[in-house]
Amino acid sequence: MKTICLVRHAKSNWADAHTADFDRSLNSRGEHSSGIMAEVLKEMGVVPDLIISSPANRAITTAELFSEILNFPQEQIVKRIEIYEGRADQLLTIVQQIPESSKSALIFGHNPTITEFANLLSGSHLESMETCGMVRIDLDIAKWNDAAYGKGKQIWYEYPKRGKA
């Protein structure tokens, strides 16, 4: 059994129209939601062996805020540009390349790709993941390389408006 938690980055700052999409930061609500949702994961007993993130500012900042609360070393966060630029099939390739020493991984990304990937992997029907929304998918596989669409089962979906944020 392998476990993936897919996380859409928290709310970003649109105040400066001249900031490139890749460089957009989190707004204060996004920072607040990140802390609360990371606490939700911690309370659920989620302890990731690996964190993978888009290197875009809003995604990596969300990942770093989660890592602080989950006691995961920030310098070990793996940045993959394909998560920012990519499609669901590229996310599947990333999952298939996770080291076998990891039983669980958190992946921080962007819509619409993160929602599409969650749906393809688990057969779920999420319309659109909320900002800082998290979906846990369990894969009944022995090796990450065996990950494929439809092999996962959505265990839960949490998002800030549903909880305390």
More confident residue, 9 or 18: 9
Q: What confidence score (pLDDT) does residue 163 get?
A: 54
CB-CB neighbours of 139 under 10 Å = 19
CATH entry 3.40.50.170 includes domain 2-158 = no
Other CB atoms within 10 A of residue 146 CB: 12
Question: Given pLDDT bands bounded at 50, 70 and 90, which one contains residue 17?
Answer: confident
The phi and psi torsions of 85 (rounded to 5 degrees) equal -90, -20
Say which range, 13-27, 32-46, 136-150, 151-165, has the weakest mean pLDDT.
151-165
In 13-160, where does DSSP find H-type helix?
A: 28-43, 57-69, 81-85, 88-96, 113-122
Domain residue ranges of the chain, discontinuous segments joined by + = 2-158
Confidence of residue 165 (pLDDT cuts 50, 70, 90): very low
Residue type present at position 88:
A
pLDDT given at position 18: 86
Average pLDDT, the chain: 95
Give residue-wise pLDDT tens across range 38-48.
Answer: 999 999 999 89
Could you read off the pLDDT of 52-67 as tens digits, one per residue?
999 999 999 999 999 9
Per-residue pLDDT tens digits for 70-111: 999 999 999 999 999 989 999 999 999 999 999 999 999 999
**Cα-atom radius of gyration of the chain, to the nearest Å?**
15
44, HSE (Cβ side, Cα atoms, 13 Å): 17
